[in-house]
Structure 1
Amino acid sequence: TSASTAAEAPKEEAGITYIKSPMVGTFYRSASPESKPFTDEGGKVVENSVVCIIEAMKIMNEIQAETKGTVVEILVENGQPVEYGQRLFKIKQ
C-alpha cells in the first residue's frame, strides 16, 4: 500500500540536506583519538571541507561536505559501523 511505502522513506525537509556515507566502514569524527572532531553540531561546513573519516579495509577515507551549511545533527556515534548510503550528518543550508 502507499501508506507503508511512505513510512519507509524518510520525509524530506525544506532547506535540509544529508551527508551520506559513500562506503561501508567505521565512522570517525576526528583524524585520531587525540584530535578535535572535524565538525560539531552547530558547526559550519563548506563544500569540500572534511567532516569525518570512514575506515574501510584499513584505509582512512576523508569524507567531504558536498554543500555549505550548518550541522544540525550528527546521526552516527564515533567508532560506529556505517553502511553505504547511510545518513551521517543533517545539514541546514
Structure 2
Amino acid sequence: MAAFEEKKWWQKSIHPPYSPDLASGDYFLFSDLKIMLTGKKLLSNEEVIVKTEAYFEAKNKSYYKNCIEKLEGFYNQCITLEGNYIQ
C-alpha cells in the first residue's frame, strides 16, 4: 500500500462531508415531494410510503435526466465560489 500512496495517482479534494449546495435530492426530489404532500394528512407510515412511491413512479425518465443535468451548473457555481453558499 505504501508504494501505491507514494505515486500520488489521485488528488485529494477538500470539502465538507455534507454540503447542502451539492445535495442533489434537495434540488428536485424532495422539494417537489414536499409541495405534493403539503396539507395532506397521512395516518400511517405505510400511507406515507405508498404516496411517496406513487409520486416518484409517476415521474418520467426525462424528469430525472433534466434534473441531474442541472446539477452541473450547481457544482460549477460551488467550485467558482470556493464552497460558499449557492442560492
TM-score by length of 2: 0.22
Higher strand share: 1
Higher helix share: 2
TM-score by length of 1: 0.22
